[in-house]
Structure 1
């Protein structure tokens, strides 16, 4: 089965108290981009808000094993090691800047219905996040309002 032909279930918010807002995938950045990418992957995410040393809201992932549960910041928009596996697992392509399209914008693409779709970003990690979100969730996604600046 071709990567673009897979059907994925829509993600469900992890917390009913989250106030969500629809945002164009191409406009996502920062923690809102991380939230949407994690939801596209079906990960167990939660938010930590301003308190102590945190001045802004951050996205965290909950990891659960058989005997251990731990959390870790989830930031694929900043950490290419989190986004790069999607190249193989979802058939994405990426080209950092400069490239044949632009001198200062990274591009990532995927095929859907035989057509090549492109997403852009200031970094390869950002472009990969946007491509994954568009592939699995579409052009408009729901993200917590607290993550939008």
Structure 2
């Protein structure tokens, strides 16, 4: 499982890096971030889809330290993606699932979902591991959301 997480993080970083580069102006200043991943960078997508297997993130202490309210982040403060956005002078990324049918955000969006995997859920179900999944929103699902967005 640890190898899978490492591969997922590397893929997330690679995809995010490619998108950051493509969204930079000629002066090198970044205009937007599009983030893919799991709980390490989920800014509220899991909560927006109902948090079926880990509902505690919708209440304090999650979000307490920095935001002073529950945010849907799997942290009591900011996530690494929040620090990256802050460093680049961009606002914190809204969760994509809260924006469906809503406004287009030019400064970026987080597609990351708590418990997401790099492999599709079909693989886990074929190995009789499906019930262990926290979500079916794998990397390919997140990329699909991005393509439709």
Q: Which has the higher contact order (CA 8 A, sep 6+)?
A: 1
Greater per-residue strand proportion:
1
Tell me whether the two structures share a fold, i.e. TM-score over 0.5: no
Question: Which category describes the TM-score, using the shorter chain as reference length?
Answer: under 0.3
Greater per-residue helix proportion:
2
